[in-house]
A and B are shown apart, each in its own frame.
Chain A
Amino acid sequence: MSLRSPLGRVRGLGSAKEGVGHWWAQRLTALSLVPLTLWFCASVAGLAGADYASFRAWVGAPVNAGLLILLIVAVFYHAMLGVQVVAEDYIHGEGRKLAVLLITKALAIVLGLAALLSVLTILFRG
């Protein structure tokens, strides 16, 4: 008989990992992306053919910049979690899986940062 508690025995084994956190993050980003995506699509459709000055004026309006920042963070977090699930399901070699997961995370961070810095540049430089 072990003196360890049931929680102590399962911690770090099997399903006692971070699956619930991943699941929740994917659902909460999905939920926040519903209004953000609809706002973004309506805005971009209205901006069709916009010239440089009017596009920068739109991005540089504080409310638009704020919503864009929320959208960018939610999109790249959601995409990263989604690609991770697909990679874990279909890539079977541990080395290749790890490589794809690391590249996915790195790309999500770099692309998200590039988009965020662009919005901030336009917001603060006008």
Chain B
Amino acid sequence: MTTQNRPLSPHLQVYRLPLLALLSIGHRLTGLALTFGTFLLVWWLVAAATGPEAYATAQAAISSVIGRLLLFGWTLALFYHLCNGIRHLFWDIGYGYELKAAYASGWAVLAAAVALTLLAWVWGYAALAGGAT
């Protein structure tokens, strides 16, 4: 009995996921990460409504090194999910299903997410430098 040449299902530990699969699972992972990120948004707003001391605590946590790293990751996840979400909306109305188009839009999403993230942080640091008055 030969067991060779049987069709194999993609085994996740040895199968290199194609870009489109990575983008797809990335949409879900960033969605979950952003859901956890809402805790930060709520904390920030509640602190501002509570008083100056609470706001100072939240501001110090956000501007610490760990806070900035988390915020940077969250910004990247947000712009990725936003751009890829627009890609999904185009699919929903029936555009961009061909393999070539799907790859092109996938790469465009990655480039746009990185560009928007960098733009937001440059904008933020410019505000920090200029608006310290």
Name the residue on B nearest A54 (C-beta).
Answer: B131
Interface residues in B, total, Cβ within 8 A: 36
| A50/B131 in contact, CB under 8 A | yes
Chain A nearest CB: distance from B71 CB in Å? 10
With the chains together, A47 CA to B78 CA distance in Å? Answer: 18
Q: Which residues of chain A in 60-96 are interfacial with respect to chain B, using CB atoms and an 8 Å cutoff?
A: 68, 75-76, 79, 82-83, 86
Chain A nearest CB: distance from B30 CB in Å? 10
Q: Report which of B31, B46, B92, B128 forms a contact with A115, defined as CB distance below 8 A.
A: B46
Residues of A within 8 A of B41 (CB): 75, 115
Decide if A30 is an interface residue (CB 8 Å cutoff).
yes
Q: Please encode chain A, from 1 to 34, with 1 for each CB lying within 8 Å of some chain B CB and 0 for all others.
A: 0000000000000000000000000010011011
Residues of B within 8 A of A82 (CB): 28, 31-32, 35
Interface residues in A, total, Cβ within 8 A: 35
B binding-site residues for A, Cβ under 8 Å: 28, 31-32, 34-35, 38-39, 41-42, 45-46, 48-49, 52, 55-56, 63, 75, 78-79, 82, 85-86, 88-89, 92, 116, 120-121, 123-125, 127-128, 131-132
Name the residue on B nearest A60 (C-beta).
Answer: B48
| A41/B78 in contact, CB under 8 A | yes
| B127/A46 in contact, CB under 8 A | yes
Q: Report which of A31, A38, A55 forms a contact with B48, defined as CB distance below 8 A.
A: A55
